[in-house]
Amino acid sequence: MSLALDRGLALIEHLAAHPDGVPLASLAAELEMPLSACHRLLAALQARGYVRQARAQGDYLLTTKIVSLGLGYLSGAGIVDIAEPLLERLAQRTGELVRLSIVDGDRLTWIAKAQGLRKGLRYDPDMGQDARLSCTASGHAWLLSMSDERALALVSQQGFGEPAEYGPKAPTTVKALLGFLHAARVRGYAVIDELFAPGMSAIAVPVLRRGEAIGVISVAGPRMRLTPARMHEMAPDLLAAAAELGPICNTSSLFGRPPLGKG
């Protein structure tokens, strides 16, 4: 990869994590980039409509152009259209937030959601983010479908993250993580309680096609409502939804892509 392209992508990824904007000097320092090179790349991205300044000489922010590209891609692939009725049905049955994430290489990304509860306390994260594999129900549901070695390699690549950014019970060691994964494999689904965020619980199941996980369906909500007992009660509905979605997704250009080295 060329240096300019690598730096440009690093700028986009860094700005995506800072929606309020970042000053030029901070961007250059945080990305260990010469100030002049950083300014040239930002000017080029600004000319293409990917970046804007909050005001003259102000902080740099991403525009919605990347979001539009992503949504257009997903719409063309047909994934959301295929999954929407199933997610809505599951959201109505559970009364909680239902999300679909897809496996894309070494990443698991939330791409669609349906909200069952229309009023009161809601847990509603933004779509398009990659799931933190070490402490989300979606991450655990994907990892349970593979060997410990492969799971740990993916987590090592992504990292455990800073403990202060997640829930009080988030695993921070390999031993702790494997304990969660082994229990999830026995059940066939993942359950978390205050791992990803304080006061939040979630349950997730992998969507399988030809024995390989291609996505994950999850339900998340406040732990006062989403108790361990209630999550185990709704597990059969999630497993049934995942079993229904897997074969349907053969018609999707993204889900239907065979894994590398397989037919």
pLDDT digits (tens, 9 = 90+) for 17-52: 888 899 999 999 999 999 999 999 999 999 998 999
Q: Cα–Cα distance between 23 and 223 in angstroms, integer? A: 38
Total-model pTM = 0.72
Q: Cα–Cα distance between 75 and 63 in angstroms, integer? A: 20
- What is the torsion angle, in degrees rounded to the nearest 10, for the CA atoms of residue 138, residue 140, residue 142 and residue 143? 160
**Mind listing the pLDDT tens digit for each residue in 101-111?**
988 888 898 88
Between CA 164 and CA 202, with CA 216 as vertex, the angle to 5 degrees is 45
**Mind listing the pLDDT tens digit for each residue in 191-234?**
999 999 999 999 999 999 888 899 999 999 999 999 999 999 99
Measured from the Cβ of residue 92, the count of other Cβ atoms closer than 10 Å reads: 11
Q: Cα–Cα distance between 130 and 111 in angstroms, integer? A: 9
